[in-house]
Each structure stands twice: as C-alpha cells, then as structure tokens.
Structure 1
Amino acid sequence: MASRVPSLNWLRVFEAAARTESFARAAAQLNLSAAAVSQQVKALEDRLGAPLFLRGAHSVTLTDLGRAYLPSVQQALGLLEEATEGVFGAPREEPVFVQSVLLFAHGVLARGLGDFQQAHPNIRVTLNTGNSALDFSNSFSDLQIVFGNPGHYGRDHDPLLGETLYPVALPEVCETIATAQDLQDHTLIEVETHRSGWRHLFHVLHLPMRSLRVLHADSSIMAAAMAAQGLGVMLARAPASDVVVVQSGLVPCLPGAQVRGEEGYHLVCPDRAALRPAAQVFRKWLLGYVAEVAGG
C-alpha cells in the first residue's frame, strides 16, 4: 500500500498558510508565488483526500480537519528542524514557541522581550496571542501564558501575576464621578472573558447594585478602545493593562476604588521536566522578570 505521508514541502506550505491565514502572506514568507502556494495546498488536500481550507474571495480559513492537523504538523516540523541542527551542526538559533493571552503579551511581556533577546541572542521567540482556551488549541507551543484556571491548559504551571481592578475613563468623564455610587449613572464596559468584573467591584466596596448599563467587550484592549471613544467606564486590570490605559488617554476615576481580582496569570506547560533547553531558559527568565514587574 502506498504511504499517505505527504511531501515535506507541502507540509511547510500548509503550515505557513494556516499560521498566517493567507496564501499571499505564506507566499511572501516562503519566497513563492501565491499561485504556487495554492497549488501545493491543493496537492496536499488531494493526497489526504480532504479539504484543509475554506477559500474566500480574499482570505482562507482552516476547516475542522485542517485545524486538527495543524498542531501535529507544526510539532513535527519543529522537531525535524531541531534534530537536523542537532546532528549536523550547532544551531544558529534555538526556537521557543510561546502562546499568551493578549493583555499580558501587550502590557507585560512586550516590554521585556527586548532584554531577553539581548541576553539570549541564540534563542528565537515566536509569540502568538489569544483570549480563550480555543485560541490555544490550534497550534503547538512550548509554553502558554494563560489567565484563570491553569488546570484547563496543562499539567505543570507557575503563578505569574494577579490583578488589581479600578475604574478608568476619559478625564472629562471622570470629572462627573465624585463617589463610587456615581459609577452607576454611567455605561460600564465589561470584559466577558474575566470572572472578576463590575459586580465584583461593587460587592467588595459594599455598594448597592441597581440596574447597570453594561457594554460588553471581548478583551481589555477592546474595552480601552471603547472607553477612549467616550462610550463608558472600563475596569483597569493592573499591572497588565497599564500600557493600554495610558495609550488610550484614560485616567483613574476614583483613586480609592481598588479591589483585587479573583484570578491571575499562569505559565503553563505539559511537562516542566521535558521542556526543551530554550524553553527552560525562557521560563527562568520570565519568572524573574515578572517578579520585578510585580515588585515595581
């Protein structure tokens, strides 16, 4: 029986197209034409006997089968690259694949990556971001930075940061808020992915709960964009949200209205003892860096 294992070139093209969700962007990365990428993906689909992409007029998205196939392809390509470099010569760069919730990556991790790269020039960090468990299920990673219950993501985990909640808005909006009760006269922007929100703040501050006007967002970065347009008051989630709050021109409304959140950030991996050397270096650096951030 003929093997169904496809061409390595086809797999490389599939991985690039799936990661970028674009034949054109994959073509640019691989120094191919978009037509060549499309042809090689079609050849792979013909070999496997199943479609891997849904093709639109200007974009492509993975089918369920394509989404299930991608993590194994990425892991296999990474292991093959590592094995080749290990056998045939010292690698110029060691890859480490990190997935992070968007707010932590934007507000905490991005500020330190430059120092890490300067200290470890032979380690190449590939960082992907998302907001939910589903975002982390579609590709291979050495380490994940998650928010909430780390047991949903991996066996081994290290605590990183908690969060402090307090209301922020445009300065002209904050001028209308003299007491915590005044918050109930404004539209409150709620981030759906967080368990600790406005009701938690009102409960901890022992404020009566009237009917609240709530505007929902899927991330704190989106909530900050909405607050910057004067659409309402959002909850800052320090320290991870510090950068986006400042960039959006938002200020604290009630300096004394601060409460601790019920959840935090964690660094997760399937097996800490089995981490590749580059991932072990990154983990050690991240734990030290986050300790400095928390102390600051």
Structure 2
Amino acid sequence: MSSRIPSLNWLRVFEAAARTESFARAAGQLNMSSAAVSQQVKALENQLGTPLFHRHAHSVTLTEAGRAYLPSVQQSLLKLETSTTGLFGETRGQRLYVQSVLLFAHGILASGLPAFQDLYPRINLSLTTGNLTADFANRFTDLQIVFGNPTLFGTEGDELLRERLYPVAPPDIADRIHSPEDLFQFTLIEVSTHRASWLHLFETLRLPAGRARFFFADNSMMAAELSANRGGIALARAPASDRVMALSGLVPCLPGIDVAGQEAYHLIYPSKSALRPPARDFRNWIMDYSAAVQTR
C-alpha cells in the first residue's frame, strides 16, 4: 500500500505558491522555473486526489481544500525548521510569519520594515494582509495585527496604536465645507468593516446622524480612492491612513476638528511565553515603533 504522505518538496512548493498566490513568484523564491512549480503542485494534487488551487491568467487562489490544508503544512514545515535549528545549529535565516490588517500594513508597517530588516537581517519576514475578521481565522502565523476587539481572536496580545477620525475630500470639495452640518450635503463614504466611524463622529459632534447619505466600501483605501474620484467624503483614520489620504490628494474638510476613535490596532499571538525568537524580536520592535508613530 503506497504512502499518502506527500513529498516534502511538493509541500514546500505548495506553501510558497499559496502564500504568494502565484506560481511565478513562488518559483522566484524557490529558485525554480514556473513550469517546475506547476508540475510539483499538480503531482501533489494528483496524490491527494483533489485540486488545491484555482488557476487564473496571472495568479492562483486556494480552493476550499487548499485553504484547509495550508495551516497544517505551514506548521509542519515550521516545526521541522525549528527542530533542525535546535539540533544542528542556526540556519542562515529565520522564517517569521506576520499577518496584518491592510491599512496598518500599508500606512504604518511599510515605512518601518526596512529598519526592522536592518536590525534583524537574519529574519526572513513573510507578511500577508487581510481585511475581514474571517481573513485572520484558520491561518498559521506567528503574529497578527488586527483592528478592533482582540478578544474576538481568543489570544494574548498588546495594544499598538489608536486612531483619530476626521473627514477628508479633494481640496475643492473641502473648501465648500465650512461647518460640520455642511457634510450632509455630500455622500459620506463609510467603511463597513468598522464599528465606530461616521456615527461615532456625529455623536461626538452632536450631529443628527439621520440626515446622512452613506456609500459603503469594505476598506479605507477604497474609500479614499472613491473620494478622490468625487464619490463623496471619506473618513481619515490617522495615523494609519495618512499615506493613502496623501497619495489620493485628500485634505481635511474641517481643519482642527477630529475625534478619538473607539478602537485600536492590536498585536496578537497564541502565547507570549511560547513565541519563537524571531517573533519576540518583532514584538519588541513593533511595540517601540508604534509608540514612536503615535507620538509624532
């Protein structure tokens, strides 16, 4: 009877392709050809008897079976790497898996990670992003950066960064807004994944929320782009949104008027005492870096 345990190399190729959502990018990371990656993934699928990827023109996405299989593969590869390091000495690089909510990754992490890599050149960081709570479930990572209530994830964690909210728009539209009540002349772009946004702003400013007309987007980056294209007034979430608002050419509608948000970004992990050395290094760095960003 033949073994159902797949080739280790097939699993390495599957993990890289799943993480990068591209056979070509996986090939680059593994020093293989795209054709070789495709062949090894196909061999794994044949052995398991089920497709693991949906093939698209320039990318791949996991099937339901692939999504269910990925965390086990990542954990197994990581355990093997950790055991090898513990028994036979340090490897040249230490893999670290971090997942972050998209806005924080774009507006905060991207500018700081080069400094982290300079401080810890032996850590090979793999960064993925998500937006919905479901994106952070059933996925293996060392650390996750989430927004909102951290208890939803049932893990230990640290608060990283709070936010301040204020309306933004293209300059010519912002010039037409002279008082908070003038906001109701325009469509207000709401981010549906946030629990406390425009309604929280209205409550703080004592404005009647019933007069508002909303357009719903699923993330702040899309909201900024819609506003830049004259689709309405967006809500800045400083400091994480500073870069995307600047890139979109948006300015504050009511300078001097902003309110403290009710939610925060958190770093979460299964257990502080069980963090691997690269994860501990990242935690120490992100705590200091976030504190510096908050006081700018």
TM-score, L = length of structure 2: 0.93
1:199 paired to 2:199: yes
Q: Residue in 1 aligned with 2:45? A: 45
Give 5+ residue unaligned stretches, structure 1.
none
- Deviation, 1:7, is 0.4
Distance in 2 between the 1:110 and 1:58 partners? 25
- Deviation, 1:269, is 0.2
- Deviation, 1:201, is 1.0
Aligned length in residues: 296
1:153-232 mapped onto 2 (5 Å cutoff): 153-232=153-232
- Deviation, 1:200, is 1.6
Residues 154 and 269 of structure 1 are in contact (CA less than 8 Å); yes or no, is this contact kept in structure 2? no
1:53-64 mapped onto 2 (5 Å cutoff): 53-56=53-56, 58-64=58-64
Q: Residue in 1 aligned with 2:252? A: 252
- Deviation, 1:225, is 1.3
Q: Tell me: CA distance 1:105–1:12, structure 2 relative to 1, closer, same or farther (3 Å).
A: same
Which amino acid is the alignment partner of residue 142 of structure 1?
A: D
Q: Residue in 2 aligned with 1:86? A: 86
Distance in 2 between the 1:62 and 1:231 partners? 33
Which amino acid is the alignment partner of residue 223 of structure 1?
A: A
Distance in 1 between the 2:152 and 2:210 partners? 34
Give 5+ residue unaligned stretches, structure 2.
none
Q: Tell me: CA distance 1:58–1:149, structure 2 relative to 1, closer, same or farther (3 Å).
A: same
- Deviation, 1:58, is 4.9
Moved more, 131-140 or 147-156: 131-140
Distance in 1 between the 2:24 and 2:92 partners? 28
Distance in 2 between the 1:117 and 1:285 partners? 11
Distance in 1 between the 2:207 and 2:26 partners? 53
Q: Residue in 1 aligned with 2:119? A: 119
Residues 191 and 223 of structure 1 are in contact (CA less than 8 Å); yes or no, is this contact kept in structure 2? yes
Q: Residue in 1 aligned with 2:129? A: 129
Q: Tell me: CA distance 1:109–1:61, structure 2 relative to 1, closer, same or farther (3 Å).
A: closer
Distance in 1 between the 2:29 and 2:268 partners? 30
Which amino acid is the alignment partner of residue 156 of structure 1?
A: E
Moved more, 32-41 or 114-123: 32-41
- Deviation, 1:89, is 3.4
Distance in 2 between the 1:190 and 1:66 partners? 33
Q: Residue in 1 aligned with 2:152? A: 152
Moved more, 158-167 or 133-142: 133-142
Q: Tell me: CA distance 1:88–1:213, structure 2 relative to 1, closer, same or farther (3 Å).
A: same
Q: Residue in 1 aligned with 2:29? A: 29
TM-score, L = length of structure 1: 0.93
CA deviation digits over 1:223-266, x for unaligned, max 9?
11111122211110111111111222111111233112121111
- Deviation, 1:102, is 0.9
Q: Tell me: CA distance 1:52–1:76, structure 2 relative to 1, closer, same or farther (3 Å).
A: same
Superposition RMSD in Å: 1.8
Residues 52 and 66 of structure 1 are in contact (CA less than 8 Å); yes or no, is this contact kept in structure 2? yes
SS at match of 1:28: helix
Residues 205 and 257 of structure 1 are in contact (CA less than 8 Å); yes or no, is this contact kept in structure 2? no
